Amino acid sequence: MILSVEKLEKQFGSLKAIDGVSFGIREREIVSLIGSNGAGKTTLVNLISGYLKPTAGRIFFGGKDITYASPFKRIKLGIGRSFQIVHLFEEATVLDNVRTPLFARYGRIKSILWSADSYVDITREAIGILKLFNLYDKKDSPAKELSEGEKKILDVAMAFALKPKLLLLDEPTSGVATHDKFSVMNTIVSAIRKEGISALIIEHDMDIVSNYSDNVLVIHEGRIMAEGKPEDVMQNKEVRETILGIQ
Ligand SMILES: Nc1ncnc2c1ncn2[C@@H]1O[C@H](COP(=O)(O)OP(=O)(O)O)[C@@H](O)[C@H]1O
Ligand SMILES: [Mg+2]
């Protein structure tokens, strides 16, 4: 297991948003996290990325106890994330958006006297990432001119540029038009598979989940309701009634 979560709990006042959650993610495995609004999905991702500290339980990453490690430490160890709302530099070009995390990763500071293009290694790596995410043709466009789907892909590409071993993606297709959702997920998942990294993807569209994930984790009121292969989870009676609304 690259990630192990053990009996995790997060209490907000009297509400147990996460209530005794245990699961693991293997190397190269893509796990989807599904559940209704308010089920605890974002809280769980925040606990894994370190933006929140649990009230009980343990989190191990690569065998290391990271339960109370800072978000920065976790990024260094190889946990990357994207957010439900994208965080792009809207005025900057697509290429510059991807170069930014690369400058950070290499601990380089861009001189105002030199153009970013003169940082040849960083530029080459950024272009490789844009090709991997099918954004190369847009490299010189300002990020604000991208479609909603392309913005989501760019956001994931930026998290990817930090070379994570595990990517946490919070609803990578939210806000994307329905007919674009599959192509956005296709692009993101192909890049993840190609690089052989692990991912935990929050998603509420079951069709998307069954196409792209090795395993599905269903969370309901802070607890794991079901977990397993997509086809098995979709046959689970409780999941069908509670989450999918099928009688
Ligand atoms: N910072 C917070 N303070 C208090 N309650 C919170 C906080 N964050 C989330 N919650 C509550 O925890 C529950 C789970 O929220 P969340 O993890 O955002 O759900 P999801 O992402 O599955 O929609 C909700 O009832 C939400 O209102
Ligand atoms: Mg959420």
Provide the CATH number for the domain around residue 187.
3.40.50.300
Ligand 1 closest atom vs CA 41: 22
pLDDT given for residue 83 in this prediction: 73
pLDDT given for residue 247 in this prediction: 62
Whether 134 shows a pLDDT value over 80: the answer reads yes
Report CA(17)–ligand 1 centroid distance (Å): 6
Question: Is 18 among the domain residues?
Answer: yes
pTM for the model: 0.93
Ligand 1 closest atom vs CA 45: 17
Supply the range of the domain harboring residue 166: 3-242
Report CA(177)–ligand 1 centroid distance (Å): 25
Report CA(51)–ligand 1 centroid distance (Å): 13
pLDDT given for residue 206 in this prediction: 79
pLDDT band at 144 (very low <50, low <70, confident <90, very high): very high
Ligand 1 near 42 CB (within 6 A)? yes
Whether 98 shows a pLDDT value over 80: the answer reads yes
Which range is most confident: 3-17, 82-96, 204-218?
3-17
Residue-wise pLDDT for 192-239, tens only, equals 999 999 999 998 777 888 889 999 999 999 999 999 999 999 899 999
Question: Is 139 among the domain residues?
Answer: yes
Residue nearest to atom 7 of ligand 1 (CA): 12
Ligand 1 near 204 CB (within 6 A)? no
Question: Is 247 among the domain residues?
Answer: no
Sign, CA dihedral 69-71-73-76, equals positive
Which ligand neighbours the alpha carbon of 34 most closely? 1
Question: Is 197 among the domain residues?
Answer: yes
How many domains does one find in the chain?
Answer: 1
Residue nearest to atom 3 of ligand 1 (CA): 12
Question: Is 106 among the domain residues?
Answer: yes
Question: Is 194 among the domain residues?
Answer: yes
Report CA(40)–ligand 1 centroid distance (Å): 6
Ligand 1 near 215 CB (within 6 A)? no
Residue in the structure block whose two tokens are 């890049």 = 191
Across the range 141-155, mean pLDDT stands at 96
Question: Is 229 among the domain residues?
Answer: yes
pLDDT band at 84 (very low <50, low <70, confident <90, very high): low
pLDDT band at 112 (very low <50, low <70, confident <90, very high): confident
Residue nearest to atom 27 of ligand 1 (CA): 38
Q: pLDDT above 70 covers what percent of the chain?
A: 99
Which ligand neighbours the alpha carbon of 44 most closely? 1
Which ligand neighbours the alpha carbon of 17 most closely? 1
Question: Is 156 among the domain residues?
Answer: yes
Residue-wise pLDDT for 153-202, tens only, equals 999 999 999 999 999 999 899 889 988 999 999 999 999 999 999 999 99
Report CA(119)–ligand 2 centroid distance (Å): 37
pLDDT band at 118 (very low <50, low <70, confident <90, very high): confident
Whether 42 shows a pLDDT value over 90: the answer reads yes
Report CA(27)–ligand 2 centroid distance (Å): 25
pLDDT given for residue 242 in this prediction: 86
